[in-house]
Amino acid sequence: MSKQIQLAVHGAAGRMGRRVVALAAEDKDIQVTAAIDHADNGLIGQDAGLVAGIAALNVLLTPEWPNYASVMIDFSLPIAVDACVAKCVTAKMPLVIATTGLHDSQKEAIAAAAKLIPIVWAPSMSTAVNLTMKVTQQITETLKNVAGGVDIEIIERHHRFKADAPSGTALRFGELIAEKMDGDVKHVHGREGETGQRTRNEIGYHAVRVGDNPGEHTIVFGMLGERIEINVAASNRDCYASGAIAAAKFLQGKPAGLYSMFDVLGLS
Ligand SMILES: NC(=O)C1=CN([C@@H]2O[C@H](COP(=O)(O)OP(=O)(O)OC[C@H]3O[C@@H](n4cnc5c(N)ncnc54)[C@H](OP(=O)(O)O)[C@@H]3O)[C@@H](O)[C@H]2O)C=CC1
Ligand SMILES: O=C(O)C1=N[C@H](C(=O)O)C[C@H](O)C1
């Protein structure tokens, strides 16, 4: 019996693409029907299952776009995202965008595309991260007028291979926290030299790149006399891959629109 959801994976030879292929292959509702990467990737032509470390799927890594799939999951590079969005619009394919480091013009293009097809776009597909985002908003609301003030800093740690900084997740934490602060918020990326005293309306960001860390975020709420540190850390990449697969399922039958992981997880 054929499976209901035919899945195309963009960036299928990458660290995340391989985990999406591997987990999707185990899913009773999903059939991986296309594994896409760029023409210069040395793995083009190989079986996507074998590349992902599982049994052969009889789906070859290809630079060609499929004409049809029930949904596309994208874990690639910013330079590759525009073509993916355009292809999904042309083919009327629902799309899950997980790639980070996108420019403002690309975000605008995604919003425009979401008027035509359903899109889930989120910098973190992890359930724990999205839940932590909600918790940090709640903490901010409670502490923002505390006597003496609260200083909020975001420290993110990732593997040495990561191409963008700070992480898309750190930036999203900052946006969501800023929504709950009063007045204009200044986003400060690292500190060096004669910085002067910290101002009250800052959110600080610090990007650490170490070894094989699959992703960790610490949100510090520092007050005079005490502090809270909320840490959310991945042990491996499957939290993101399984979240993307949940998003792909969520999009089935959905009208055009821009959805977030809050929508997928019922946290909106
Ligand atoms: N939203 C989320 O939950 C998460 C998001 N991410 C994000 O996903 C993205 C991918 O991460 P990761 O898998 O670690 O990165 P990788 O570099 O391992 O994978 C990216 C893949 O895309 C390929 N690629 C490069 N150029 C193109 C192109 N023009 N067209 C198609 N494919 C291309 C790469 O090929 P080659 O190696 O030859 O360059 C590689 O196979 C990053 O932006 C990362 O921040 C990561 C984890 C979780
Ligand atoms: O590149 C990664 O690995 C990750 N990138 C995402 C980000 O930039 O937020 C999500 C996750 O933290 C892993």
pLDDT score at 94: 98
Model pLDDT for residues 115-136, shown as the tens digit of each residue: 999 999 999 999 999 999 999 9
Model pLDDT for residues 184-212, shown as the tens digit of each residue: 999 999 999 999 999 999 999 999 999 99
Instruction: Say whether both 14 and 135 belong to one domain.
Output: no
Residue 133 annotated as part of some ligand binding site: no
pLDDT score at 13: 98
Instruction: Say whether both 119 and 243 belong to one domain.
Output: yes
Spacing, Cα 160 to ligand 1 middle (Å): 14
Instruction: Say whether both 109 and 192 belong to one domain.
Output: no
Length of the chain: 268
Instruction: Say whether both 110 and 133 belong to one domain.
Output: no
Q: Is 52 helix (H, G, I), strand (E, B) or coil?
A: coil
Model pLDDT for residues 239-262, shown as the tens digit of each residue: 999 999 999 999 999 999 999 999
Q: Is the CB of 11 under 6 A from ligand 2?
A: no
Cα(111)–Cα(85) distance, rounded to whole angstroms? 10
Q: Whose CA is nearest to atom 3 of ligand 1?
A: 124
pLDDT score at 49: 98
Instruction: Say whether both 105 and 210 belong to one domain.
Output: no
Cα(167)–Cα(165) distance, rounded to whole angstroms? 5
Instruction: Say whether both 106 and 53 belong to one domain.
Output: yes
Spacing, Cα 198 to ligand 1 middle (Å): 36
Cis, peptide link before residue 166, omega less than 30° from 0: yes
Instruction: Say whether both 16 and 112 belong to one domain.
Output: yes
Radius of gyration for the alpha carbons in the chain, expressed in angstroms and rounded = 20
Count of domains observed in the chain: 2
Cα(36)–Cα(196) distance, rounded to whole angstroms? 49
Ligand 1 shell residues, CB under 6 Å = 11, 13-17, 37-38, 41, 75-77, 79-80, 98-101, 122-125, 164, 240
Cα(17)–Cα(240) distance, rounded to whole angstroms? 10
Whether 143 and 185 have beta carbons less than 8 Å apart is answered as no
* Residue 162 belongs to domain with CATH number: 3.30.360.10
pTM tops 0.95, yes or no? yes
Residue 261 annotated as part of some ligand binding site: no
Q: Is the CB of 78 under 6 A from ligand 2?
A: no
pLDDT score at 109: 97
Angle in degrees, CA 244, 79, 47, rounded to 5: 55
Instruction: Say whether both 79 and 13 belong to one domain.
Output: yes
Spacing, Cα 17 to ligand 1 middle (Å): 7
214: containing domain: 127-233
pLDDT band at 2 (very low <50, low <70, confident <90, very high): low
Instruction: Say whether both 252 and 226 belong to one domain.
Output: no
Spacing, Cα 94 to ligand 2 middle (Å): 22
Instruction: Say whether both 59 and 32 belong to one domain.
Output: yes
Instruction: Say whether both 109 and 215 belong to one domain.
Output: no
- Which DSSP category does 221 fall into? E
Residue 162 falls in the annotated catalytic set:
yes
Model pLDDT for residues 12-51, shown as the tens digit of each residue: 999 999 999 999 999 999 999 999 999 999 999 999 999 9
What number of other Cβ atoms are within 10 A of residue 23's Cβ?
18
Q: Which ligand has the shortest distance to the CA of 207? A: 2
Q: Is the CB of 99 under 6 A from ligand 2?
A: no
Decide if pLDDT at 3 tops 90: no
Phi first, then psi, for residue 43 (nearest 5°) are -95, 0
Instruction: Say whether both 131 and 101 belong to one domain.
Output: no
* Residue 54 belongs to domain with CATH number: 3.40.50.720
β-pairing verdict for 118-121 and 257-259: parallel
